[in-house]
Amino acid sequence: MTFFKNKLTVTVIVLSVSFLVLIGYTVNKKNMTAAEDGIGKVLNSIQGVVYKVNNGLKNNINFIVNYRKIKEENKQILEENLQLKDKALNYDALKNENERLRQMLNFKNQRTEYDYLGCDIIGKSGDNWLDGFVINRGTEDGVKDRMVVVTGAGLVGQVTAVGSNWAIVQSLVNENIAVAGMLNSTRENDGVVKGYRDYDDKLLAKLYYLPLDSLVKEGDLVLTSGLGGLYPKGIKIGTVINVEEDKGKLIKNALIEPSVDFNKLEELFIVIPKNNREVKY
């Protein structure tokens, strides 16, 4: 490729020199012969064509020479973009984790009458989350049956089975779990919260057995009432999203959006009573 480039350059130079010689020869002549004029036109035309071809080849050669460099630069840019995406994902994950841990720390600071044991979910105990899930803490860590499990966002459920280094937790949205509930706005504590699934299989809960004259309304916050001695008082359960009246039974039921997103559970707390070997809250 260098050979052709040099050969064309030599050709252009030769033609240019010839054309200049012809100009020098004829400059002192007032009139050029027809032959001289014709030769000049031919040389000028050939020079123009050769120059254009040489210039085009030069551009093509430069493109070919730079193509590998451009390809390497594009590859480097692509790798940098992938690294930036990975950093962005890691940043979002750390940000979400920090937010969860901050919520849990706030919960601990507000409820200092208990100790809290951190744990992680390591699997499901059945086909879905309604059947419960397995955590990586057990009797070796002081975990006992019926202990309450929470996150910084609110109530998760309770321990229903314990091994040496594992335990099964039944979640609030399981219909087998019943929690005494209280309306934060009116302090009514006559209701019982159980798991509930709507027609779209959305994981919800429902506050049952409120009196017909209850002032419950959409947007009310539902907390654990502490009645029954199992769940500590004042743990957030969820928010009322709909109120139903059963005039035949003279009661109201309230549909609840749980405070905890059961599809995104990660770090959990097991609530442990201080200075008490029995699980009594």
Instruction: Give, for all 281 residues of the chain, the pLDDT tens digit.
Output: 444 445 555 555 555 555 555 455 544 544 445 544 555 554 555 555 555 655 655 565 565 656 677 777 777 777 777 777 666 656 554 555 556 556 555 656 666 678 888 899 998 877 766 668 999 999 999 999 999 999 888 999 999 999 999 999 999 988 888 999 999 999 998 899 999 988 787 889 999 999 999 999 999 999 999 887 788 888 999 999 999 998 788 899 999 999 998 888 878 899 888 765 555 55
What pLDDT shows up at residue 201?
A: 78
**Separation of alpha carbons 186 and 169, rounded Å:** 31
Q: Alpha carbon of 21 to those of 13, 38, 43: distances in Å?
A: 12, 15, 11
Cβ neighbours of residue 19 closer than 8 Å, sequence gap 6 or more = 40, 43, 44, 47
Q: What is the pTM of this model?
A: 0.62
What pLDDT shows up at residue 264?
A: 82
DSSP H stretches of helix in the chain: 2-27, 34-110
What pLDDT shows up at residue 17?
A: 53
What pLDDT shows up at residue 6?
A: 55
What pLDDT shows up at residue 190?
A: 85
The span from the first CA to the last CA of the chain, in angstroms, equals 88
Number of other CB atoms surrounding residue 257 within 10 Å? 16
What pLDDT shows up at residue 4?
A: 44
Question: Closest by alpha carbon to 147, among 262, 234, 271?
Answer: 271
Element at 239 (helix H, strand E): strand 236-246
The CATH class of the 115-273 domain is mainly beta
